Amino acid sequence: MDELKGDCANCFGLCCVALPFAKSADFAATKDAGTPCRNLLADHRCGIHDSLRSKGYAGCTVYDCFGAGQKVSQTTFAGVDWRTAGRQQMFAVFPLVRQLHELLWYLAEAQRLDPHDDLAEAYTEVEQHTVAAPEDVLALDVAEIRAKVNVLLLRTSERLRTSAKSYRGADLIGARLRNKNLTAADFRGAYLIGADLANADLSRADMIGADLRGADLSGADLGTCLFLTQPQVNAARGDARTKLPAALSRPAHWLSRPARRR
């Protein structure tokens, strides 16, 4: 799924320009949509990429365009820089294509887990939208597309999980779930901000939309989680013992964390 991974070298720094952010624990400054980040270099690279967290831009480290940046830069706008032309249209198209690419990632993952013709057909349909002309992308009802895809993803999840444990949409902020057997549980849309999931067994748990910001995944088994994304992992805390799906990377800031007492 390389085409669904961000390729900053072939992107015009769209996430650093098109999207807004507010000064907070995640961002050291406020930036309006359409305004270049003050750390963006002339070649569209980030000037503090290797020290984002220490410079107060942790929010950037948990963002993933799922390959939409290079798609919009090189395909939708044929390599024409936003500094040259099409600035407002490009900035409007980018977040829509990003949503579509996220759906493609989920569909690709669903096909890997449980291949079915309906998933392949849905993937092709969504992919066609991502290469449409800018005006056609802007006319899309992305919410409707997302709803259709969600039906397929939910069906896949239900086929793969054998547990009736459901925490869908639950408020589990700060919850103590360490050492729990949460195998095949449904955490779709759950709020797990700051939750203690250390050493928990999350095998085959459905994690679509789960908010894992600051959650402690030290020693947890997420190796066979369903639909766990890199941004979710990046937003959480873990260690060298945390088991992750093969397609996901262990965030660098996990390895720099001091060991916790057990």
Per-residue pLDDT, 157: 95
What pLDDT band is residue 11 in, cutting at 50, 70 and 90? very high
Q: Residue 8: which residues within 8 A CB-CB, separation 6 or more?
A: 44, 45, 46, 69
Other beta carbons within 10 angstroms of residue 158's beta carbon come to: 11
| Predicted TM-score of the model (pTM) | 0.92
CA distance 104 to 98: 10
Tell whether the model's pLDDT for residue 257 goes beyond 80.
no
Q: Where are the domains of the chain?
A: 2-160, 163-257
Per-residue pLDDT, 2: 78
Phi, psi of 29 (to 5 degrees): -150, 165
Per-residue pLDDT, 173: 98
Per-residue pLDDT, 260: 52
Tell whether the model's pLDDT for residue 161 goes beyond 50.
yes
Tell whether the model's pLDDT for residue 59 goes beyond 80.
yes
Per-residue pLDDT, 262: 45
Per-residue pLDDT, 85: 78
Name the average pLDDT for the chain. 94
Tell whether the model's pLDDT for residue 253 goes beyond 90.
no
| Separation in Å, CA 60 to CA 40, 65, 117 | 12, 11, 36
Question: What does the pLDDT look like over 21-50, one tens digit per residue?
Answer: 999 999 999 999 999 999 999 999 999 999
pLDDT mean over 253-258: 71
What pLDDT band is residue 204 in, cutting at 50, 70 and 90? very high
Contact 65, 6 (CB under 8 A): yes
Locate 237 and state its tokens: 């805390």
Contact 57, 37 (CB under 8 A): no
Name, of 80-84, 160-164, 197-201, the range with top average pLDDT. Answer: 197-201
CATH of 163-257, one of 2.160.20.80, 2.40.50.140, 3.40.30.10, 3.40.50.10470: 2.160.20.80
What pLDDT band is residue 91 in, cutting at 50, 70 and 90? very high
pLDDT mean over 140-158: 96
Phi, psi of 245 (to 5 degrees): -60, 150
DSSP helix/strand/coil, 127: helix
